[in-house]
A = this chain, B = another copy of it.
Amino acid sequence: MINQLIENIKRTKAPIVVGLDPMLSYVPEQVQKAAFQEFGETLEGAAEAIWQFNKAIVDATYDLIPAVKPQIAMYEQFGVPGLAAYEKTVSYCQQKGLVVVGDIKRGDIGSTSEAYAIGHLGHVQVGSKSYAGFHEDFATINPYMGSDAVNPFIKVCKEEKKGLFVLVKTSNPSSGDFQDRLVDGRPLYELVGEKVAQWGDSFMGDSYSYVGAVVGATYPEQGKALRKIMPHAMILVPGYGAQGGQGKDLVHFFNEDGLGAIVNSSRGIIAAYRQEAYARFGAEHFADASRAAVEAMTADIQGALEAAK
């Protein structure tokens, strides 16, 4: 899957991933209305609304992008019907040739991490049959519990040729509370980055590892240091756009081959129609606004990468 991801990035010339993180408030009224007419103002109705919203955005952008990153929390808030919409979204994106990064940030003790790994990236045995519950291609994971929380994910990924992005330095303002604390004079996130490099060395694709990292766009200097610590890790970079990151902040996340990072934007793409820059599309043509926002983001990052050459 890491090779597939890189192939998709090369083909689209867009090192970006669209965060399919639908708040119900992002979904235009006509889409909500249609869903509620069919299912009522219920969890099923909300799930149908976000699924139709996602589908329209994917249909309008899939040829321009290599990957999507649905944030499972946004579905989980609608309970079981929400998670059914999540699974449907994963399937649909895969049918469209997109690589799907499940932003699940799971992590637990060994046997429990294994269950998460099986549910999201692997197959579970039921009697004589086996099933892939959520079947994402990559998943984000939380390393706070240490190696034995991560190893079961790596094991399942090796069986399934799937990949991981391990949280190293997250994009949020208080990520420093623990991640920046100095251990032997060095911030904790660097130690986590070293572990990611170790985990990744044993599980390489053609040029990048199946074990990647999450490093926030909002911390470009840290990105520079971590790029060196984890030379073979694909870095998933959240925090572009709405969270404050810009193209010029991102160049240090990339390697000299122009690869090695994939930048996420969620709200900036999926709710583009609500921004002044794309207001001309109106709520009716929200998916076209998303397409224009993808084009602008790709140009911004490509431009920054060109300028840095």
On A, residues with C-beta under 8 Å from B are 21, 23-24, 32, 36, 41-43, 45-46, 71, 73-74, 76-80, 82-84, 87, 105-113, 115-116, 118-120, 124-129, 131-134, 142-149, 167, 170-179, 181-184, 188, 191-192, 195, 238, 243
User: Are B87 and A42 interface neighbours, CB within 8 A?
Assistant: no
User: Are B73 and A106 interface neighbours, CB within 8 A?
Assistant: yes
Cross-interface CB contact of A79 among B36, B79, B108, B131, cutoff 8 Å = B131
Given contacts A73-B108, A119-B77, A119-B82, contact A172 B146 (CB under 8 A): yes
Q: How far is the CA of A28 from the CA of B24 in the complex (A)?
A: 42
When C-beta atoms are compared, the residue in chain B nearest to A144 turns out to be B144
User: Are B129 and A41 interface neighbours, CB within 8 A?
Assistant: yes
Number of copies: 2
Cross-interface CB contact of A147 among B74, B124, B177, B243, cutoff 8 Å = B177
Q: A46-B124, A80-B87, A145-B167 are in contact. List 17 more A-B contacts (CB 8 A).
A: A23-B111, A41-B127, A41-B128, A42-B126, A46-B126, A73-B112, A77-B115, A77-B118, A78-B124, A79-B87, A79-B131, A80-B80, A80-B83, A145-B174, A146-B177, A148-B173, A181-B191
In the complex, which residues of chain B have a beta carbon less than 8 angstroms from the beta carbon of A238? 109
User: Are A144 and B45 interface neighbours, CB within 8 A?
Assistant: no
In the complex, which residues of chain B have a beta carbon less than 8 angstroms from the beta carbon of A73? 106, 108, 112-113, 115-116, 119
In the complex, which residues of chain B have a beta carbon less than 8 angstroms from the beta carbon of A142? 105, 107, 142, 144
Which 9 residue pairs across A and B have the least CB separation, nearest first? Answer: A79-B133, A146-B177, A146-B174, A41-B127, A77-B119, A144-B144, A109-B172, A73-B115, A181-B183
Q: How far is the CA of A108 from the CA of B178 in the complex (A)?
A: 14
When C-beta atoms are compared, the residue in chain B nearest to A79 turns out to be B133
In the complex, which residues of chain B have a beta carbon less than 8 angstroms from the beta carbon of A119? 73, 76-79, 82
A218 to chain B, nearest CB (A): 10
Q: How far is the CA of A17 from the CA of B87 in the complex (A)?
A: 32
Q: How far is the CA of A45 from the CA of B130 in the complex (A)?
A: 12
When C-beta atoms are compared, the residue in chain B nearest to A122 turns out to be B77
Given contacts A126-B46, A129-B41, A191-B181, contact A76 B115 (CB under 8 A): yes
